[in-house]
Every structure is written in C-alpha cells, then in structure tokens.
Amino acid sequence: MKILIASDHGGYRLKETIKEILIRKGFDVADAGCESEESVHYPVFATDVAEKIAEGKYDRGILFCGSGIGMSIVANRVKGIRAALCFDPLTAQLSREHNDSNILCLGGRIIGPKMAEEIVLKWLETPFLGGRHEERIKMIDAEAK
C-alpha cells in the first residue's frame, strides 16, 4: 500500500512520529511536507495530497494539522476524496467500513502519538464493507463537482 502523508506546522511532530512507525512496519510512505514547525498554509498540502490520491498515484493519504479540521475541509473539496477526521480507532474503522475513506485527518494538537498510532493502524487494516454502503458512496461521487 502506497501512503502519502503531509502536515502543516501544527501537525508536523505527529506526522514525523507516525511516518517513522509506518516505515518501521513496512509501509511504502511518501512525505509531501511540511519540513518543520515553521508556519505554513495547510490548504497547499491538503490539496496536493488529495489530488494525488484522487489521481490514483497513491492508495491512501494521511493529513495532519493542529485540529485536523482544516485539512479535512480542504481535502474533501477534491472530487473522489472521502477524508475522515478521526479521534479514536472506532471512528477510523467506521470511516473505512461505511465510507471507504481514502484520506485520514488527524489533529496534532488534539491527540497524542499512541492514540494516533492506534487510529492509523486501525484505519489501514480495515476494509470497505461495500454492500449497502457502495450505493451511498456512488451518491457522494455523483454529487461532487
């Protein structure tokens, strides 16, 4: 699985922690920035990752900012993206099973590294259930501009 990650300054530390964990576990991880805790504009990074996921260049994306909210708003503006802001493993699991989320958003100022690791691993291991949920995903995609 090819995973593209990015953050703004508020999510930088958590991104770096999760990146190390994913690489250690054998995932193919690419980092689209940012490179420090120096202030940057999150829409640039969220758009870049979302467009690459939508184009199929990567299988999934993970975005980190202070709260996770800004990244999720921007990413969901890209057609074909279903970005989920998650705060625990259950919401991560449900976002995959029911919504086939392809981008996970996390708040670096909201959750700690251990919880983030649990969320990310649950999200990566959970398959989409399809079935009745498939029709709803098609409805979302049809409504996207």
Residues acting as catalytic residues:
65, 98
Length of the chain: 145
- Which helix (H) or strand (E) element contains residue 13? helix 12-24
Report the alpha-carbon distance of residue 87 to residue 112 in Å, rounded.
10
Where in 35-113 does DSSP place strands (E)? 60-65, 83-85, 103-107
Report the alpha-carbon distance of residue 45 to residue 49 in Å, rounded.
6
Sort strands 83-85 and 60-65 into parallel, antiparallel or unpaired: unpaired
CA distances from 107 to 45, 48, 86 (A): 15, 18, 9
